[in-house]
């Protein structure tokens, strides 16, 4: 079965701590790979602060232009956790307590320890649902095509486990690479000609300068496995034409 259409996703990272440089993001690459396994292409990421208008604008932009929109961060119990409220604002709906989430929290903390702050974690936009977390139990929230996930990497990954097979994905994008040990500029003209001759794939050139070695990983992508090997062969030939060493796969990048 082939799907002509690409299925796309956008990601809104809610995080003052990323914008201040305090924290190195660890979720974007993980989510990108997970989406690819599900046949979904990550089209755009926006990293914004913990501010309601910024979250509303980014969620509305990405949920409308992509098939799915994910958010990470801002769904905990503290005053700066405002993602659920902002997503409700993006949909112009109210916020309600989810009964199932309240029961899970009461079971976890005990009913007498279910403070107002903890109950915040059971709030969902009206019409929203839980995203089960088979790893740690802490659920995410879904409202239509928007998935609100935790910012803590281990918890976000558990929520994604609960979403395996739930998205209507297309064929996963496949890729393979040749690494050429030569300055990118020596390969550039031959590479442009190969791309022109093979519009059925996309070729990316990812240069590196490391430990005295200069080169580029040349990555060939297609949803059709048969389209890739002839292009890799053309790249190897181009490398040999300029007397450059090459290895299959990605080396040293």
Binding positions for a second copy, 119-148, rule CB under 8 A: 120-121
Least distance CB 152 / a second copy (angstroms): 6
Least distance CB 32 / a second copy (angstroms): 3
Q: Is 172 in the site for a second copy (CB under 8 A)?
A: no
Q: Which is nearer to a second copy, 80 or 126 (CB)?
A: 80
Q: Which is nearer to a second copy, 90 or 191 (CB)?
A: 191
Interface with a second copy (CB under 8 A), residue from 39, 162, 172, 207 = 207
Q: Is 117 in the site for a second copy (CB under 8 A)?
A: yes
- What are phi and psi for residue 208, nearest 5 degrees? -145, 150
Q: Which is nearer to a second copy, 118 or 132 (CB)?
A: 118
The 35-74 contact track toward a second copy, x by CB under 8 A, reads: -x----xxxxxxxxxx---x--------------------
* Count of residues of this chain found to bind a second copy when the rule CB under 8 A is applied: 67
Tell me how far CA of residue 184 lies from CA of 153, 202, 217, 239, in angstroms.
35, 17, 9, 11
Binding positions for a second copy, 208-237, rule CB under 8 A: 208-209, 216, 219, 221
CA-CA distance, 84 to 75, in Å (whole number)? Answer: 7
Interface with a second copy (CB under 8 A), residue from 203, 228, 235, 239 = 203
Q: Which is nearer to a second copy, 143 or 186 (CB)?
A: 186
| Dihedral sign computed on CA atoms, order 62, 162, 140, 72 | negative
Interface with a second copy (CB under 8 A), residue from 52, 53, 64, 80 = 80
CA-CA distance, 225 to 72, in Å (whole number)? Answer: 32
CA-CA distance, 39 to 164, in Å (whole number)? Answer: 11
Q: Is 244 in the site for a second copy (CB under 8 A)?
A: no
Least distance CB 232 / a second copy (angstroms): 16
Nearest to 18, CA basis, from 78, 88, 72, 82: 72
Which residue in this structure is represented by tokens 């796969």? 249
CA-CA distance, 177 to 78, in Å (whole number)? Answer: 45
| Dihedral sign computed on CA atoms, order 239, 245, 246, 251 | negative
Q: Where are the alpha helices (DSSP H) in 66-214?
A: 83-91, 99-109, 116-119, 153-163, 184-197
CA-CA distance, 212 to 29, in Å (whole number)? Answer: 27
Least distance CB 79 / a second copy (angstroms): 4
Binding site for a second copy (CB under 8 A): 16-25, 28-33, 36, 41-50, 54, 76-81, 109, 115-118, 120-121, 152, 154-155, 173, 175, 184-189, 191-192, 195, 202-209, 216, 219, 221, 253
């Amino acid at each position: 079965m082939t799907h002509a259409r690409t299925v796309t996703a956008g990601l809104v990272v809610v995080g003052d701590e990323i914008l201040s440089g305090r924290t190195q993001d660890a979720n974007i690459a993980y989510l990108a790979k997970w989406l690819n396994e599900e046949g979904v292409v990550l089209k755009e990421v926006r990293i914004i602060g913990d501010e309601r208008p910024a979250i509303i604008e980014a969620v509305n932009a990405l949920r409308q232009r992509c098939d799915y929109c994910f958010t990470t961060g801002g769904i905990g119990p503290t005053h700066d956790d405002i993602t659920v409220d902002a997503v409700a604002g993006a949909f112009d709906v109210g916020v309600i307590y989810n009964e199932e989430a309240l029961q899970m929290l009461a079971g976890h903390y005990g009913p007498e320890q279910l403070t107002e702050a903890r109950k915040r974690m059971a709030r969902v936009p009206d019409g929203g649902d839980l995203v089960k977390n088979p790893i740690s139990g802490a659920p995410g929230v879904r409202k239509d095509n928007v998935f609100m996930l935790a910012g803590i990497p281990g918890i976000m990954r558990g929520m994604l486990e609960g979403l395996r097979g739930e998205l209507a994905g297309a064929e996963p994008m496949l890729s393979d690479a040749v690494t050429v040990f030569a300055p990118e500029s020596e390969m550039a003209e031959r590479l442009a000609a190969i791309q022109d001759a093979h519009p059925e794939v996309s070729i990316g050139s990812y240069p590196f300068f490391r430990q005295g070695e200069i080169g580029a990983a040349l990555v060939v992508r297609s949803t059709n496995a048969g389209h890739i090997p002839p292009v890799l062969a053309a790249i190897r030939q181009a490398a040999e034409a300029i007397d450059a060493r090459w290895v299959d796969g990605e080396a040293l990048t």
